[in-house]
């Protein structure tokens, strides 16, 4: 038994689903103006379905309800990204939009810096992990270890 098992989830601490909806809303404002990434989205120029999926996925990942799983099944994120080229450029653009969104939604909160660190501490290695341009099954061997 560790303190981790009873610590409130980031989902709860951040403010629940509205926090993730806001984060994802700002993120897609950036994506929709990105000439490299925007056309990759299957429903482009409609980002509402993608917003819905990402927001539910993130809520579930951070300890919220498992609605994503109920709607989409197991995340299998690497598999779901195979249809799109994810190289260093795509990774960096994606992270830039996400970092902007994280900064915006965490601004002015007492716990903003801590929250931003936790969120980016997941997004940075996860985006690298989703690269599929190297021919290797998994790019980052140390994923999740630091
Ligand atoms: C931390 C990194 C990332 C996370 C957590 C993430 C998460 C997700 C999730 C949850 C979905 C929806 C999966 C589904 O249920 O079908 C998705 C779709 C998608 N992602 Fe990512 N992604 C990441 C990085 C990237 C990067 C670097 C790219 C750049 C090419 C990208 C491009 C896309 C596209 C084009 C879709 C299809 C839109 C959709 O079906 O929702 N993602 N991503």
For residue 8, the CA-to-ligand 1 centroid distance in Å is 27
Q: Point out the ligand 1 atom lying closest to the alpha carbon of residue 41.
A: 35
Looking at the structure of the chain, the number of domains it has is: 1
Overall pTM > 0.95 = no
For residue 5, the CA-to-ligand 1 centroid distance in Å is 29
Convert the pLDDT of each residue in 76-132 to its tens digit: 999 999 999 999 999 999 999 999 999 999 999 999 999 999 999 999 999 999 999
Look at residue 144 and tell me if it is in a domain.
Answer: no
Residue by residue, what is the 3-state secondary structure of the chain?
CCHHHCCCCHHHHHCCHHHHHHHHHHHHHHHHCCCCCHHHCCCCCCCHHHHHHHHHHHHHHCCCCCHHHHHHCCCCHHHHHCCCCCCHHHHHHHHHHHHHHHHHHHCCCCCHHHHHHHHHHHHHHHHHHCCCCCCCCCCCCCCCCC
Domain extent at residue 56: 11-129
Look at residue 99 and tell me if it is in a domain.
Answer: yes
Q: Residue 48: which CATH number?
A: 1.10.490.10
Look at residue 143 and tell me if it is in a domain.
Answer: no
């Amino acid at each position: 038994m560790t303190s981790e098992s009873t610590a409130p989830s980031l989902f709860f601490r951040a403010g629940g689903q509205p926090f993730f909806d806001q984060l994802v809303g700002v993120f897609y404002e950036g994506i929709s103006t990105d000439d490299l990434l925007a056309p990759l989205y299957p429903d482009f120029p409609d980002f509402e379905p993608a917003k819905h999926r990402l927001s539910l996925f993130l809520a579930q990942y951070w300890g919220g309800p498992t609605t994503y799983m109920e709607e989409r099944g197991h995340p299998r994120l690497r598999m779901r990204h195979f249809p799109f080229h994810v190289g260093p450029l795509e990774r960096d653009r994606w992270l830039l939009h996400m970092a902007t969104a994280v900064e915006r939604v965490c601004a002015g909160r007492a716990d903003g810096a801590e929250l931003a660190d936790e969120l980016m501490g997941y997004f940075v290695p996860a985006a690298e992990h989703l690269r599929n341009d190297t021919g290797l099954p998994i790019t980052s061997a140390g994923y999740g270890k630091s």
